[in-house]
A and B are shown apart, each in its own frame.
Chain A
Amino acid sequence: MMNRMPALIAFAVLVQGVVFAQQPRHPDLTGVWSYAIDRAPAALKKEVNGQVVIQKIDQSARHGDASTVKGVQASTPRPAYKPEYMAKLKDLADHESRTDPVFSCGKPGIPRIGPPRKIVQLPKETIFLYEDISGDPYRVIPTDGRLHRQYPNPSAYGDSIGKWEGDVFVVDVTGFGDDTWFGEDGYFHTDAMHVIERIWKDGDNLIWQATVEEPKVLAKPWVMPARLLKPSNDALEESPRCVESDGARLLNDDHHLQR
């Protein structure tokens, strides 16, 4: 029996090697990706002992243009709401300084939070990590072929399952609550919202594009503009806690001036 052991081990290794070779090879999305959101355009002027240094913000990742990247779907800048919901949309947008849940440290949810800051790609699941002022959410996305949970508790980040379509990682998200916005300007939704995120590599960069299907309030699915993210060496850090202190001081409905 002992004489057969090396042969058995060799056979087992061979079988595993064959199995591994037969598994489809997918691009590796693992890594930290640039913070592809706006930052305040201010620079910092530092003066020490008469020496002045201007520290500008690196905005190279700001709204990286992905429109010409292969595989990006045609998008529109805004979702199309059904006519009967236009008045509600306008009212929320007009008073967004008071009505936007994010302004009160609320969770942005999917897809408003955008692409993940870090991806950990494992054989049977992929993990998305985020940095956000409302906390630092994470999503564990099964890729083992399972279906959505039958009765997920409604949440801001929903119930996700992932699969590969060629070289594109597709995340299907359901199980939302109805208390987040899927974008600025009052983009409300119901618990019927369904989001599909598509993520793939374009050279060294990462492309993220989401589609919002909301049959109750949208006239048609909204294909969001794609985002381009660059690889980053920045380590993720715990976001400081969120303490809203301005709400009581608002004296009018002026919009914030992000864009």
Chain B
Amino acid sequence: MKYSVFICGFAVWTLLAVASLDAHHSPSAIFDMTKHIAITGTLTRVDWVNPHIVLSMEAKGEGGKVEQWKLESNPPSWYKSVGLARADFAKAIGQTITVEAVKARDGSLYGYMDKIKLPDGTSYELVNGAEAK
């Protein structure tokens, strides 16, 4: 099993509280905000789209079966504002990454990514802006 579940104390809702022009659904309507998962697998695709970027990856699930995951995250404009572009993620396509996310309530292999660790050891994590120092 390549992904694990743990409880996250971070208020992930802040991640989706985005601009009026980037308005989107309440995360609690889609994701179980109390269950945080970590997925290790191969990054297969990076879609730099609105209203949320989407990363696709393959990871082994129960019994070693390969699962196709999709992880959305903040809008492209948000990532632009912190100096990240598609290429910062896409350079890891075909390589092993680890993602932390909250999982969709509907049971699908879908989540909201708040941390990614790339093969070169670099990690990017969405943290609470009000508390960050």
A132 to B20, CA, bound (A): 10
List B contacts of A41 (CB < 8 A).
14, 17, 128-130
A103 to B51, CA, bound (A): 9
A254 and B132 form a contact (CB under 8 A): no
List A contacts of B125 (CB < 8 A).
44-47
Whole-angstrom distance between the Cβ of A29 and the nearest chain B Cβ: 21
Question: Which A5-39 residues have C-beta < 8 A from chain B?
Answer: 35, 37-39
A186 to B111, CA, bound (A): 28
B69 at the interface (CB under 8 A from A): no
Which of A37, A48, A58, A257 is B19 in contact with, Cβ under 8 Å? Answer: A37
A-B pair count, CB < 8 Å, reads: 169
B49 and A42 form a contact (CB under 8 A): no
A242 to B22, CA, bound (A): 10
List B contacts of A49 (CB < 8 A).
121
A102 at the interface (CB under 8 A from B): yes
Which of A35, A46, A55, A250 is B25 in contact with, Cβ under 8 Å? Answer: A250
Instruction: Identify which of A105-113, A138-146, A152-160, A164-172 touches chain B.
Output: A105-113
B64 at the interface (CB under 8 A from A): no
A241 to B50, CA, bound (A): 6
A257 and B75 form a contact (CB under 8 A): no
B3 at the interface (CB under 8 A from A): no
B58 at the interface (CB under 8 A from A): no
A46 to B72, CA, bound (A): 19
Interface string of B9-47 (1 = CB under 8 A from A): 000011111111111111111100000000000000001
B97 at the interface (CB under 8 A from A): no
Whole-angstrom distance between the Cβ of A258 and the nearest chain B Cβ: 6
B74 at the interface (CB under 8 A from A): yes
A133 and B75 form a contact (CB under 8 A): yes
B122 and A113 form a contact (CB under 8 A): no
A240 and B50 form a contact (CB under 8 A): yes
Given A47-B123, A249-B30, A249-B105, A40:B14 Cβ within 8 A: yes
A42 to B11, CA, bound (A): 10
A38 and B17 form a contact (CB under 8 A): yes
Given A56-B132, A242-B50, A249:B76 Cβ within 8 A: no
Residue of B at shortest CB range from A256?
Answer: B26
Whole-angstrom distance between the Cβ of B68 and the nearest chain A Cβ: 14
Which of B50, B77, B106 is A105 in contact with, Cβ under 8 Å? Answer: B50
B74 and A103 form a contact (CB under 8 A): no
A257 to B20, CA, bound (A): 10
Given A42-B129, A257-B26, A240:B21 Cβ within 8 A: no
List B contacts of A39 (CB < 8 A).
18-19, 77-78, 81
Known pairs A43-B126, A246-B25, A257-B26. 6 more at Cβ < 8 A? A38-B17, A45-B126, A47-B122, A240-B49, A249-B104, A257-B16
Mark B residues whose CB is within 8 Å of A. 13-30, 47-52, 54, 70, 72, 74-78, 80-84, 104-106, 108, 110, 121-130, 132-133
Q: Can you spell out 13 A-B residue pairs with CB atoms less than 8 angstroms apart?
A: A43-B129, A45-B127, A49-B121, A105-B50, A132-B21, A243-B47, A243-B50, A243-B54, A245-B52, A245-B54, A246-B24, A254-B26, A256-B24
Closest 6 CB pairs of A and B: A133-B50, A254-B26, A43-B132, A43-B129, A44-B82, A37-B19
